[in-house]
Amino acid sequence: MISVFIFLAVDFFNQINMLYGTITEFCTEETCPVMSAGPKYEYHWADGQTVKKPIKCSAPKYIDYLMSWVQDQLDEESLFPSKIGVPFPKNFLAIAKTILKRLFRVYAHIYHQHFKEVVQLSEEAHLNTSFKHFIFFVQEFNLIEKRELAPLQELIDKLTSKDR
């Protein structure tokens, strides 16, 4: 089960990285001076190690910190062991939940701040499919608290409704 979880987490990380990569020319210090998902949701960066107190930063800076931090987590043998028989740490689920919660914020930023550009690039189907898979996964295993999903709750309800 954990190996499937790791595969999906890495896959979501790669998909979000790729999707965000297509809009980086639109997500700049000038256009996105704060990391947000609409007017009611602003995210500040802290990794708990080098940046202990959350700092306000631009969306591109936040996402750069985030993607580097996730890559570091995935590369850390004590957190994501690559050798057969090496146990996962007791706090593995908490780490995985933090990774997924933070990756959700990139989706939320893209949808709220850059969906127009996504449509112009004809990428909305890929974004919606990627996000829908992500949401089904995190909901199935209760990996992100409902309040964290609030910036995209309306879209989540639409994408996951049985009537679609």
Does the annotation flag 133 for ligand binding? no
Does the annotation flag 32 for ligand binding? yes
**Which residues partner with 45 through β-bridges?**
55
Q: For residues 83 and 155, what is the distance between their CA atoms, to the nearest angstrom?
A: 39
Number of residues written out for the chain: 164
| Strand pairing class (42-43; 35-36) | antiparallel
Q: For residues 79 and 65, what is the distance between their CA atoms, to the nearest angstrom?
A: 19
- Cβ proximity of 155 and 37 under 8 Å: no
Does the annotation flag 109 for ligand binding? yes
Per the annotation, binding residues for Zn(2+) are 27, 32, 109, 114
Please report, in range form, the residues annotated as the binding site: 27, 32, 109, 114
